[in-house]
Amino acid sequence: MENIIIKIFNKLKVEVNSTRKITNGKQNDAYIVNNRYVLRVPKKGQKVDYKREQRILKLLSFMPVPKVILVDTSKRSVPFEYMVETLIPGELWLYTPQLEKNKRLYFLAGKLLRRLNNHKFDFVTDFDLKRNKSWSKLFNRMLRSEIKNIPARLRLKLSISEKDLSKKAYCLDDFNEGNIMIKDSKITGMIDLEQARITPIAFSIVMVMDRMFGFNIKSNEPYSFRLQTLAEAFLKGYGQVPKIDLSLRNKYLYYHYAFMFNRTKGRSRELYKKKLIGVGK
């Protein structure tokens, strides 16, 4: 692999002085080069749309995200597609002992999400980033797409007719500790942001905060969580969140759990199965 890395960086006229392989999720193998660049290549059997990721990172350039240096999908010079991007300094928050101890980091994560949500739009999209005017029509289509792939006993006849009056902004479903880099107890940036779309902010908040803190669906409070102390630190950093009634929140959660059930296996899938049953009661 080292010779291939040298070949790739020769194309960029960069001399390779050091390389090291790092963990980079389920889809990519990643190599840090010269402590300055990240080379990402698909894991065996995986298909990664680097062109789409390049587009997303360009759209999110107002945020602390990597800058794409090169995307090559031709497979002419090397036998796989790849992307070269700048290195965000630090380490993944998920892999640090500060994960559930540092409320200050969750406060900063809330501020970071607010920064993302301050970028407003007058339309909504799914992951294809194609513009839609009607959120209810788009959401109901997204919901049907997920419901058809879960077991019949878990399916509910759901749709939204409620109006979500929150502003439209970028929604990053994978905004969580596994995609946030930290250094010296500060957030340095975000990586691996494949799941980007434009939705009402209330939907975005539900997606993000369930992944990070887990909603307490037995509570009558819309913003009640299993990890309440950390969630409160996050919300303090975020500022005022949009109002959302329990019915709409639970429909958003049902979609989220179906989405995750359809993309996980083993114990994780069993967990989302239980969540689907719980939110459906």
Q: What is the CATH number of the domain that holds 213?
A: 3.90.1200.10
Residue 211 has pLDDT above 90, yes or no: yes
CA distance 65 to 32: 16
Element (H, E) at 54: helix 50-59
The total domain count for the chain is 2
Residues spanned by the domain of 74 = 2-87
Do 227 and 251 lie in a common domain? yes
Do 231 and 110 lie in a common domain? yes
User: For the residues 249-269, what does the mean pLDDT come to?
Assistant: 96
Beta-carbon neighbour count of residue 158 at 10 Å? 15
Do 232 and 189 lie in a common domain? yes
User: For the residues 170-199, what does the mean pLDDT come to?
Assistant: 93
Do 126 and 229 lie in a common domain? yes
Calculate the CA 199 to chain-centre distance: 14
CA distance 275 to 267: 12
Do 70 and 105 lie in a common domain? no
Do 139 and 66 lie in a common domain? no
Q: Look at residues 87, 104, 120 and tell me which one is the last residue of a structural domain.
A: 87
Residue pair 62/12 in contact by the 8 Å Cβ criterion: no
Residue pair 111/238 in contact by the 8 Å Cβ criterion: yes
Do 65 and 103 lie in a common domain? no
pLDDT digits (tens, 9 = 90+) for 230-239: 999 999 999 9
Do 106 and 148 lie in a common domain? yes
Beta-carbon neighbour count of residue 265 at 10 Å? 7
Residue 26 has pLDDT above 80, yes or no: no
Residue 24: pLDDT band with limits 50, 70, 90? low
Do 76 and 98 lie in a common domain? no
Do 158 and 263 lie in a common domain? yes
pLDDT digits (tens, 9 = 90+) for 123-167: 999 999 999 999 999 999 999 999 999 999 999 999 998 788 899
**In the prediction, which pLDDT does 159 show?**
92
**Tokens standing for 165?**
């009056």
Do 96 and 76 lie in a common domain? no
Residue 226: pLDDT band with limits 50, 70, 90? very high
pLDDT digits (tens, 9 = 90+) for 33-46: 999 999 999 998 88
Q: What is the CATH number of the domain that holds 47?
A: 3.30.200.20
Residue 103: pLDDT band with limits 50, 70, 90? very high
Q: Look at residues 61, 87, 113 and tell me which one is the last residue of a structural domain.
A: 87
Q: Look at residues 87, 102, 127 and tell me which one is the last residue of a structural domain.
A: 87
pLDDT digits (tens, 9 = 90+) for 59-81: 999 999 999 999 999 999 899 99
User: Regarding beta strands 82-86 and 68-72, do their DSSP bridges make them parallel or antiparallel, or are they unpaired?
Assistant: antiparallel
Do 188 and 140 lie in a common domain? yes
